[in-house]
Amino acid sequence: MPMELLNFIFRMGVLFAIYGFIWGIFEFILVIASMNKQKTLTEEYVIKGIKYVFLADVTFLFCLDLKEGEISYYQLALAALVLTMYFVGKLQSSQQQAKMFGMMGNGLPMAFKNFNLNAEIGVIALSVFCFIGFIFFKDLSINPISDWFHDSIISIEKTPVIGFIFKVIGFFFLISMLFKMMNGIMYLLSGAPFVQASAGFQANKKKEGDFDDYEEIN
């Protein structure tokens, strides 16, 4: 069971990495077609909502493949957990980047100007609800777009060089997920996470921005 769990998370990491790569190409084409016109907040989150919903759909299809078309509720529950953690990780990353670039003022890239916490939570909730809905309405998950993503991901994964690169990414995704799960377990048991990634940043921030009692201000 532990090896099956690790293999499953690893496969999800490869899936997410390749899907992100394919979607990145789509977004690049969209930017070129729109003559580099900056997206509005609504356009930003409509596109992100579509991206996340189809990722949830493709993830569901891969869960069906593992049982040759039969639904494994254990695997679906695990996939829902990993998918949600992936989305939350994306949200936290965007939030941190928006704060970090906030000091740039007018130089802030439009992608970070369009960051909206409520909208981020909304598209994540929609995607997770869609994933759960596919359990009860399996036929909705099978459509030409999701099938194309599914087949393209498998083809890229089987490509010798590129497939190996994405498998390396999947390995690091596995390590990241294990740390996140360990943090969650340690937090529930002791009230403190196993690893505090932001501790060093916060310490440096204090050193740079705060004055000591004996420091003279000119």
Tens digit of pLDDT at every position of the chain (218 positions): 577 888 888 888 999 999 999 999 998 888 888 776 777 888 889 999 999 999 999 999 988 765 555 667 788 888 898 898 889 888 888 888 777 766 665 555 544 557 888 999 999 999 999 999 998 888 889 899 999 999 999 999 999 889 999 999 988 888 888 777 776 666 566 655 444 444 433 444 444 444 444 444 44
At 31 the pLDDT is 81
Largest CA distance in the chain: 72
Indicate the residue type of 2: P
pLDDT confidence of residue 6: 84
What's the pLDDT at 188?
60
Nearest to 167 by CA among 176, 183, 177, 156: 156
pLDDT at residue 116 in the model? 86
Give phi and psi for 162, each to the nearest 5.
Answer: -65, -40
CA angle (62 as vertex; 82, 135 as ends), nearest 5: 75
- Ramachandran angles phi, psi of 152, nearest 5°: -65, -40
Res 30: pLDDT = 85
Give the model's pLDDT for residue 1: 57
The pLDDT value recorded for residue 99 is 77
Mapped to the 3 state alphabet, what secondary structure does the chain carry? Answer: CHHHHHHHHHHHHHHHHHHHHHHHHHHHHHHHHCCCCCCCHHHHHHHHHHHHHHHHHHHHHHHHHHCCCCCCHHHHHHHHHHHHHHHHHHHHHHHHHHHHHHCCHHHCCHHHHCCCHHHHHHHHHHHHHHHHHHHHCHHHHCCHHHHHHHHHHHHHHHCHHHHHHHHHHHHHHHHHHHHHHHHHHHHHHHCCCCCCCCHHHHHHHHHHHCCCCCCCCC
Q: Give pTM, 2 decimals.
A: 0.78
